Amino acid sequence: MLISVIVITYNRPDALAAVLEGLLAQTDQDFEVVVADDGSTADTARRIAEYQAVARFALRHVWQEDRGFRAAAARNRALAACRGEYVVMLDGDCVPAADFVAAHRRLAEPGWFLSGNRVLLSRLFTEQALRERLPLHRWGAGRWLAARLAGRVNRLLPLLRLPDGGFRKRMPRRWEGVKTCNLSAWQSDLARVNGLDERYSGWGLEDSDLVVRLIRAGVGRKSARFAAPVFHLWHPEQDRSGLAENRRNLEAILHSDEIRAARGLGQYL
């Protein structure tokens, strides 16, 4: 099974490089990467080209014009370019552990999507990691414990590894808390709900909308916690001026029976 990893980015080539380094080091290499670029400058294109020259996996760059925060549209364009039957979504500031792809593959199951979690890095530690190009994806328990004791990360619990089991399906219809920085689903299920809804403009809640519609379409939530963590690099808080309108959109979806995005993936297929 070919897996497509979508990495969304915007004008942060140093963080994107850390993510791509993590993907280069994956124990499972049967995947492709599609960078969903929300309008970055040429610096990002040059950085991607450097990795295209050395990556063992296919690496494609899907760019859209910079017209503000349009994560839903960027991910939809990347989805349309994916060749895999299973899709893993990852943010361009979330460094995957070396077994990240392998864990998503192992836990993937028809009729379910996977939701993972993250470890948050402090601002100073993020700056150091990017400046010194620290191989966070290769760090062991001892180094992460030292980082936690120094206040460089917010928690260690996501780094525990547990096997598959019934506990992962305890909340099949809970949409709250799912983030597209660490989410995977079958391409056919994402197509069935027409991908993400591009009516969400600016930061926030387009991922909640997607999950609500997946669950309504009969796709259950399965937990990838304690299996596939990512290390979230610090960044300034996004502009949230459009959040009120996005909340109204989400409320409308929650009180409807809609499954397909009103303006979604289909326009790119």
pLDDT, residue 171, reads 96
Residue type, 197: D
pLDDT, residue 261, reads 97
Which are the contacts of 203, defined by CB distance < 8 A and separation ≥ 6? Answer: 69, 71, 238, 239, 240, 242, 243
CA distance to 3, 67, 186, 189, 198, per residue, from 74 (Å): 19, 11, 18, 18, 9
**Of 205, 20, 150, nearest to 94 (Cα)?**
20
- Number of domains the chain contains: 1
Q: What region does 194 belong to: left with phi over 0, alpha with psi -120 to 50, or beta?
A: left
pLDDT, residue 81, reads 98
- CB count in 10 Å sphere of residue 20: 26
> What is the DSSP track for 232-258?
E---PPPP-TTHHHHHHHHHHHHTS--
Q: Which domain holds residue 7?
A: 3-268
Exposure on the CB side of residue 243, measured as CA atoms within 13 A: 7
Dihedral over Cα of 50, 52, 57, 61: its sign: positive
Per-residue pLDDT of the chain (269 residues; tens, 9 = 90+): 999 999 999 999 999 999 999 999 999 999 999 999 999 999 999 999 999 999 999 999 999 999 999 999 999 999 999 999 999 999 999 999 999 999 999 999 999 999 999 999 999 999 999 999 999 999 999 999 999 999 999 999 999 999 999 999 999 999 999 999 999 999 999 999 999 999 998 888 999 999 999 999 999 999 999 999 999 999 987 777 778 899 999 999 999 999 999 999 999 98
Spatial distance between the Cα atoms of 152 and 122, rounded to a whole number of angstroms? 5
Domain with residue 32: its CATH number is 3.90.550.10
